[in-house]
Structure 1
Amino acid sequence: MPLSTAKRWNYLPSANPAQLHDLLEALPMSPEVAELLVQRGVDTPAAAAEFFQPDLQRLPDPLLMRDMDRAVTRLAQALADGEKVLVLGDYDVDGITSVAMVMSYLTPLFGVERLRDYIPDRYTEGYGISLKAIDFAADNSFALIVALDCGVKALEQVAYAASRGVDFIICDHHLPGDELPAAVAVLDPKRQDCEYPYKELSGCGVGFKLMQALGQRLGLPAARLYALLDLVTVSIAADIVPITGENRVLAAYGLRRFNEEADQLRPGLAALRELATLREGPLGISSLIFGFAPRINAAGRMGDARRAVAMLLAPDQQEARYTAEVVDQMNRERRGSDQHTTQEALDLIAASPTLRDAAATVLYKADWHQGVLGIVASRCLDQYYRPTVILTMRDGKATGSARSVAGFDIHTALETCAPLLEQFGGHRAAAGLTLKVENVPAFQQRFEEVVAATLTTEQLVRPVDIALTLPLSHITEQFYTELHRMEPFGPGNPNPVFASQRVLAVPGSARVVGQNHLKLRIIPADETGPVLDAIGFGLADYLPQINEGQPFDVCYTVEMNEYRGIRTVQLRLLDVKWE
């Protein structure tokens, strides 16, 4: 079975010398960090100073967002007139944290009798605003729905709500269509007529701006708002939005809640942190992605997403622990289901020469659990690096998830197959689709033809962008500390990747750990310089060649390994190659 371990090494262009000079003259930093900043567009002393010192006081005014004044006026009216408000969000992490965040802020103002959360059922209602949710609001005397992380294309639903006497405020961050819903307010920085300066907020981030504007209108202390940043940061991490600009400021302060101010972390997240058994040391964005997001997501995938909302709103440790254990159990069920389904999918590929040699992977099995299809598609992509579609049967239709390789637009590929599809949506890297079961074979053939005709050989090799080539002697604890100042890392501000040439494994140090991981100690090939610990996840196949004793090149990120209170600099190997 082929393993997609090989990488295509892309060396990023060198920074402008004049810009480097200006940064080094103005601020204390190493030439390497200055180079990294310029590569990321942080190329003036003022921008660098702001980058290193995120400041909540510099957040853009929420009233710059189109319709924000109307949204705040309507919420204030509901508060003054004693109206009931339904807080509705999508069933993924962004939607769940959005609902918990707005509920946290509004409950002391409205009281529990006038406020309720609502998460649609993934399987009976589907994505976004359902007619069932609107009927629930109207039948239970909710005059206003605040929709979070969804709704910007819900024209028919908002019109139906108006016919039933229910108003809408929409907080979304997805691309709008040609027409906007006739809601009281549509908050979305991606609206063409919206002049809000930062366009990449998460759905929870847009809801946060609404709460910020409401707090300003009511004269509430900023501390109440900033207490919500733990939730906003989980949404930023889980929704893979860029860690730039305003998101970077929000995430930097939110991570303080998890680290320096852990005693102030909301009980639900504190309980989830304990159950996730994360490794020692401060939490970063990746910790939230892998430790928190799957557990919160599992509630929507395997059962009732409102359980995750209840966990995040738990008022004390006892209730938080109980609800967190329920959510964690859902995640264990989800993990068992996705592992079983992934193995079945990989077995199908391995058993078929046609599937093994195909340009794309398209698999269908009627009894696979819909809630894990996206995860399974990603797992198959890890194993066979090519565009992947995983389908199951739901309500008599084939439905599923698609994932793509870097540089290949899977949404455009699905558009080419549109005559065979009932519906589809998504973006370049990921999409969802539904089609008639009888059309699955024709879709498999057509999608394979489209991918084979347009996918380039280069796109079949996973890229890794290398910022700098460094001698091992540069990798010190002081260097790590400097890099740490650039956190939080994530999309738009990635953990920098470095390369070092002509290194050797310390004799006897290279070994396989875990299932398929490479552990070793490396030194410069001339054996003059430091000895560094290194680990490469999924790279155990390189062990025989490394033990032959020929110099090799490595690319890696730099991390601090903390074990029983002892901290050591370690290289996280991404790839190994020989000249």
Structure 2
Amino acid sequence: MEKRWIRKPAPDPEKVRLLADALRVKETIVALLCQRDVCTFEEARAYFRPSLSELPNPLLMLDMDRAVARLTQALHAGQKVLVFGDYDVDGTTSVAVVYSYLRRFFGEERIDYYIPDRYKEGYGVSEAGIDFAVDNGFALIIALDCGVKSVDKVQYANERGVDFIICDHHLPGTELPAAVAVLDPKRADCPYPFKELSGCGVGFKLMQAFTEDQGLDEAPLYDLLDLVAVSIAADIVPIMGENRTLAYHGLRLLNDPTRPQRAGIVALRELAGLQTTELNISSLVFGFSPRINAAGRMGDAKRSVAMLLAATKEEAFEKASVVDKTNQERRGFDTSITKEALDMIEADALFQDAHTTVLYKEDWHKGVVGIVASRCLDKYYRPTIILTHSNGKATGSARSVAGFDVHQAIEECADLLDQYGGHMYAAGLTLPVENLPAFRAKFERVVAGRILPEQMIPPVDIDTELSLSDITNGFYNLLRQMEPFGPGNANPTFMARNVYAAPNSARVVGQSHLKLALTQDGHHVLDAIGFGLGEHLPQIQQGQPFSVCYTVEINEYRGVKTLQLRVKDIRWE
């Protein structure tokens, strides 16, 4: 697929020079910082060494004072608290953080957690969960990573004598639930300075405010930042501002060899084959997230929470082995349904010139439709919705292309929907099956009328041009200081012109991946791999020069670590 190479604007050279002098670092690295709006010594200090002491005051979040007061009332009045969370990684880590922290104060007998069944109860706060609270004497529910649109469910809870504190980070609707407190930095009236917290991050802020209110030591709370980091990685929120600070310290905990690791984390590392690897955002996304998610996608997400909360290694591995088996089952559904979906697109002439993909099949597994939407997006780069049949409705997930707000486009079709919610790039929706043709047509009209032609071509953002001769172990070590990488603080992507494959180095591995050694000016040779770029092999073998855009990484093979370029795209000179 053709890609758009987008060169970022070069920063002000005078700012680069001054900061390079202050930091005593090469201007190439400093230019990368300035492109990220890190242009002064103080900004650089905060960027490279983010401090927990500089986290925003949690009481700046609207309703936080009310939430803390209600939680404190429950503590002193002997009331029971139910921690309610969504079934994805963000939701389950949220529950693990809040439940494990509050258990110290409420005791096992006065606190429990609840994860809704994806298939029987659907997304978010459920009547079944509220009924469970009523039947078991819970006076307060803390909803995590959900609830901001649960107006009717919270009203139902109020009628049954159960209070709600909502900790969410999704976009609110026009009406907020009548909860004791609705904590959501995306509320239009919320003055909280950082708007992009994960759901677990909002739950963490509630625990932070409770800790300060009670005059407690913050160290036990900060010990939970490993789980917060997992949520930040999995929910693909921007790794900037407060998220960067939380992720930075969470990763330090995960990679600290002197610290006893959480039993559930030890089990996840082993199952993902990451026992000896230093964890980063990418390894959390691809190693941890699918396994934690699988329990909710395929069955009971409480198993993931139980794994994260396990007190012993034996208990953790028992729970984790079930979760991993569930993940393997999920992979089977993922592969087969993705193939069906791609075949449907290929076979339907209407899709060839469409601006959207909307597919429905009643027997697709509800737990993997989001993954399938992402796979279809990778192949046909356009806003994509994959739907299946559940509880008499069509329900599913949407994914979007860079720069296009799919949540807003779905909102314009609200008259055809029962419910919807989510973010700019990912959303969920439910509608009557009979509305599908009308929805498909309207969604196509809305997107076609708003999307720009260039938004339907995958972008590759390039920080700067960099010669292969500049890539050394020392340069790579400086790049590492810019971690954690992720959305909003991407691993720098470089461009090099007039490169060649070293003689007899280019080959295709794994059916479609390009493995080669790159050389420039005949002297500097670096190993490289380009996933999915095997189609370029014939031209490369003819000895033609080309341009590459790439990131720099370390490849470890049989205990030997070497620099490697990960090629994102190739252009011919």
**TM-score where L is the length of structure 2:** 0.96
Map residues 202-241 of structure 1 onto 2, 5 A cutoff.
Answer: 202-241=198-237
> What is the aligned partner in structure 1 of residue 160 from structure 2?
164
Partner of 1:542: 536
Relative to structure 1, is the Cα distance of residues 279 and 39 closer, same or farther in structure 2, using a 3 angstrom cutoff?
A: farther
Q: SS at 2:388's partner residue? A: strand
- State the match for 1:23 in structure 2: 19
User: What pairs up with 1:293-372 in 2 under 5 angstroms?
Assistant: 293-372=289-368
**Residue type of the alignment partner of 1:82:** G
Match of 2:559 among 557, 562, 565: 565
Letter in 1 for 2:269: R
CA distance in 1, matches of 2:152, 2:412: 27
Distance 1:483 1:573 in 2: 17
Q: Distance in 1 between matches of 2:28 and 2:74?
A: 54
4+ residue segments displaced more than 6 Å: none
Instruction: State yes or no: 1:497 paired with 2:493.
Output: yes
Q: Which moved more, 1:384-393 or 1:425-434?
A: 425-434
Letter of the 1:539 counterpart: L
Instruction: Map residues 448-467 of structure 1 onto 2, 5 A cutoff.
Output: 448-467=444-463
> Kindly tell me: are residues 432 and 183 of structure 1, through their superposed partners in 2, closer, same or farther at Cα, counting changes over 3 Å?
closer
Q: Which runs of 5+ in 2 are unaligned?
A: none
Structure 1 position 244, deviation (Å):
0.9
CA separation in 2, counterparts of 1:198 and 1:450?
A: 30
2:136 paired residue number:
140
Which of 59, 68, 85 does residue 64 from structure 2 map onto? 68
Q: Please say if residues 171 and 423 of structure 2, whose CA atoms lie closer than 8 Å, have aligned partners that are also in contact.
A: no
The 5 A counterparts of 1:101-112 are 101-112=97-108
Is it true that 1:253 corresponds to 2:249 in the alignment?
yes
Which of the residues 97, 116, 120 maps onto 2:116?
120
1:280 positional shift: 5.3
Counterpart CA distance in 1 for 2:496 and 2:220 is 47
- Alpha-carbon distance in structure 2 between the residues aligned to 1:439 and 1:179: 25
Deviates more, 1:153-162 or 1:52-61: 153-162
Percent identity of equivalent pairs? 64
Aligned partners of 2:129, 2:284: CA distance in 1, in Å? 30
Kindly indicate whether the alpha-carbon contact (under 8 Å) linking 1:281 and 1:562 is maintained by their aligned counterparts in 2.
Answer: no
Q: Does 1:530 align with 2:528?
A: no
Q: Which residue pairs with 2:513 in the alignment?
A: 517
Shift of 1:208: 1.0
Give 3-state SS (helix, strand or coil) of 1:42's partner: coil
Equivalent-residue separation in structure 2 for 1:438 and 1:393 (angstroms):
12
Specify the code of the residue in structure 2 equivalent to 1:170.
Answer: I
Q: Which secondary structure does the structure 1 equivalent of 2:90 belong to? A: helix
Paired with 2:280 and 2:106, the residues of 1 have a C-alpha distance of 34
Contact 2:184 2:190 in 1 (8 A): yes
The CA deviation string for residues 430-468 of structure 1, in whole angstroms up to 9 with x for no partner, is 222233323333443444444445444322210011001
- The 10-residue stretch of structure 1 (85-94 or 216-225) with the greater mean CA deviation from structure 2: 216-225
Q: CA RMSD, aligned part only?
A: 1.8
* 1:33–1:483 Cα contact (<8 Å) kept: yes
Match of 1:187 among 176, 183, 186: 183
Q: SS of the counterpart of 1:531? A: strand
1:486 and 2:477 correspond: no
CA distance in 1: counterparts of 2:62 and 2:154, whole angstroms: 18
Deviation at 1:423, TM superposition (A): 3.5
In the alignment, which residue of structure 1 is the partner of 2:6? 10
Helix, strand or coil at the partner of 2:524: coil
Q: Which residue among 254, 260, 264 is the counterpart of 1:264?
A: 260
Measured at CA, do residues 69 and 364 of structure 1 come closer, stay the same or move farther in structure 2, by a change above 3 Å?
Answer: closer
Aligned counterpart, 2:470: 474
Distance of 1:292 and 1:306 partners within structure 2? 16
Deviations 1:3-29 (A, max 9, x none): x3x310000001012321221122122
Where does 1:365-380 land on structure 2 (aligned, <5 Å)?
A: 365-380=361-376
Q: Residues of 2 paired with 1:175 and 1:451: CA distance?
A: 20
1:503-533 per-position Cα deviation (integer Å, ceiling 9, x unaligned): 0000110011113111000100x31x32100
After TM superposition, the score normalised by the length of structure 1 is: 0.95
Aligned counterpart, 1:197: 193
Shift of residue 277 of structure 1? 1.4
* Matched residue SS, 1:125: coil
Q: Is the 8 A contact 2:145 2:199 kept in 1?
A: yes
Kept in 2, the 8 Å contact 1:14–1:39? The answer is yes
CA contact (8 A) 2:115 2:302 kept: yes
Q: Which amino acid aligns with 2:176?
A: L
Q: Larger deviation: 315-324 or 62-71? A: 62-71
Structure 2 CA distance for partners of 1:56 and 1:422, relative to 1, 3 Å: closer
